[in-house]
Chains A and B, each alone.
Chain A
Amino acid sequence: MQLLYIVKRFGVFLIIIWLAATLNFFLPKLSGQDPVRTKLLESAALGGYVHAGIEDMVKEYQQKFGLDKPLWRQYLNYVSDVSRGDLNYSIANYPRTVAGMIADALPWTIALLGLTTLFSFAAGTVLGALLAWPGAPRWMRWLMPPLWALHAIPFFLLGLVLMYLFAFQFQWLPIFGGYSAGANPALDWTFALDVLRHAVLPALSIVLVSVGGWALAMRGMMVTTMGEDYVTFAEAKGLRSATIFSRYCIRNAILPQVTGLALALGQILSGAVLVEVIFGYPGIGALLFQAIEENDFFLIQGIVFTVIVALGFATFVLDVIYPWLDPRISYRRA
């Protein structure tokens, strides 16, 4: 019963991985030629990347994905590589591997995105619930219009404004990077503080924009929920206001919120990519930007693939949590 559901959801996760790999393989070939090959050969011919390795890479590429190979064979090679975690070498940064570069950048992004998303979701949900509740403090209503207005704009635009205000004008916070240039990455307080200072602006850009969205959605959910018969009966039962608020209203209103979270993950990530780019925050986003600039196709493919897999996993986790929150979704029905 429960196991079957989890297995099914995991199956969906595997399909997503497969889909990501397949897209990664076929999409570039849509234009009729193989742009990877073209770019590799270009780079080799231009000698722009001055290292012998590029010759080896071209040879290896020809071997696996050469035009003389049938398409299905190329595809199988690709899939088998990917499933072994071999995302190839970075064209621009040879001999670094794509997997290696991603492994360096990924923790930064997970930290930034994970914390900001959880925080905005929690704070926004609580705020939205309070806003819908007649017993809540009056002054909270004043928070809504600015949050509302903010949430309509993309993260990175707010980032731009914040950067100008706080990094340039007031010079309170650093402009660029994940940590100060020349700082020694070590596990001590000074480094940690440095990292935090650099993370404040990117985090704020994401949080300030997201909170409004969650609050608005939760408030709407609460209003609907508060009109339900079971809330009326709860009141007729003489339950305390706090009990009705938490157990009858929030507990029910939060279900669509969590669904919303699962759906929004992709968008949040897309927005965060741009935030990282403008702040030079050393996460996946900045890496992607760098890869695009350098025409490093393997790196781009690798990043896109990794991100899709990560999001698929996050969605899988949320999918498994959901029936625990809502007993009506029986594990059996899945």
Chain B
Amino acid sequence: MLGYLHRNVSLMVGVVLLGILVVFMAVGALTVDTSNAQPLSVPTLLPPSWDYPFGTDRQGRDLLAVMVAGTPLTLWIGFVAGFIGVGVGAVLGFTAAYYGRVVDTLIRSIADIGLTVPGLLVLIIIAVSLKGSLTVNQMAIVVASLAWLNPTRTIRSQVLTLRERGYVEIARLNGMRGPEIIFRELMPNLLPYLAATLVSSVSAAILASIGLEVLGLGPVEAPTLGMTLYWVFFNAAIINGWWWWWAAPLVVIVMVFLGLFFLTVGLDEIANPRLRRAA
């Protein structure tokens, strides 16, 4: 297994990057006082120092505490939305591909039209329409509402290629019925691919949630990564030269996306052996 990690560079890089984040969050949760992630906890606008390694912001938050408290929140939103997205997407994708014709056309058309629409905008409408400010969990649900579109499409096409393979015919001839074939024959073969889809779905969900937050539509009181950036822009931190304020969330976000990206590529390599050691 470790030998394989050695050859699958992408997977290794992804695991390492995400691993660093996990360690950061774990160690941070134990050592850092997360109540300082709330406004008016500490002196404002201090550049990084021994007391405050990531500096403080204009509203008196300790940015290290913000990172420790906020990163898990952002990741949580991404995971919940991503999981729901792939879950629903898998059900719809399998159904469409397996049963074909009318069901397929219906599901496929909905997904295609849904994908034409820029997700962020619909999310904006939803977020703006809901009363009051969102909680973290509500954010996750909002993002999840659109997260199933892409997975449905990709899982459907993968199942379609598999459906033509011989062992499905044999299973059918052996008397297996639809759902049973889906579970026993198709899904195990798709697991690596489903994993890759899950990771990219989580990544997309995190991106969507950060997007909403940067626009100010996120859970305003939560110290998530996106909200932190919102405050950065709100307070014109870049022009004012308070670089530490945006540097910390920037680094964390980049690590999250790069980690998830390399993980996806690595999983893709497992799912599709032809990509291994390609040109």
Contact = CB atoms under 8 A, between A and B. Distances in A.
A and B touch in the complex (CB under 8 A): yes
B115 A266 contact: yes
A220 B210 CA distance: 29
Given A274-B214, A277-B233, A266 B116 contact: yes
A16 B250 contact: no
Tell me what chain B mostly uses at the interface: helix, strand, loop, or mixed. Answer: helix
A315 to B, nearest CB: 5
A152 B258 CA distance: 6
Interface in A18-57: 19-20, 23-24, 27-31, 33, 35
Query: Which bracket fits the contact residues of B?
Result: 35 or more
A304 interface: yes
B30 interface: no
A152 B207 CA distance: 10
Given A153-B254, A161-B250, A292 B128 contact: yes
Nearest to A314: B116
A274 B243 CA distance: 20
Contact of A157 (B116, B254, B260): B254
A270 B118 contact: yes
A162 B52 CA distance: 26
Contact of B121 (A289, A297, A304): A304
A292 B125 CA distance: 10
A300 B120 CA distance: 13
Given A152-B258, A168-B239, A175-B239, A23 B122 contact: yes
A28 B258 contact: no
A12 B105 CA distance: 14
Contacts of A315: 116
A293 B233 CA distance: 13
Contacts of A161: 250
A300 B254 contact: no
Contacts of A297: 128
B118 A301 contact: no
B261 A152 contact: yes
A167 B236 CA distance: 13
A149 interface: yes
Contact of B125 (A163, A274, A304): A304
Contacts of B275: 220
Given A149-B258, A157-B253, A274 B211 contact: yes
B124 A16 contact: no
A307 interface: yes
A16 B238 contact: no
Interface string B223-251: 00000010001000011010100100010
A278 interface: yes
Interface in A268-283: 269-270, 273-274, 277-278
List the 5 closest pairs (A to B, CB-CB), nearest first.
A270-B120, A152-B261, A266-B118, A28-B129, A269-B118
Interface of B: 113, 115-122, 124-126, 128-131, 207-208, 210-211, 214-217, 229, 233, 238-239, 241, 243, 246, 250, 253-254, 257-258, 260-262, 275, 278-279
22 contacts: A28-B129, A29-B129, A33-B131, A35-B129, A152-B260, A156-B214, A157-B253, A160-B229, A168-B238, A168-B239, A168-B241, A265-B116, A266-B115, A273-B120, A274-B214, A278-B214, A278-B233, A288-B124, A297-B128, A304-B121, A307-B118, A311-B118
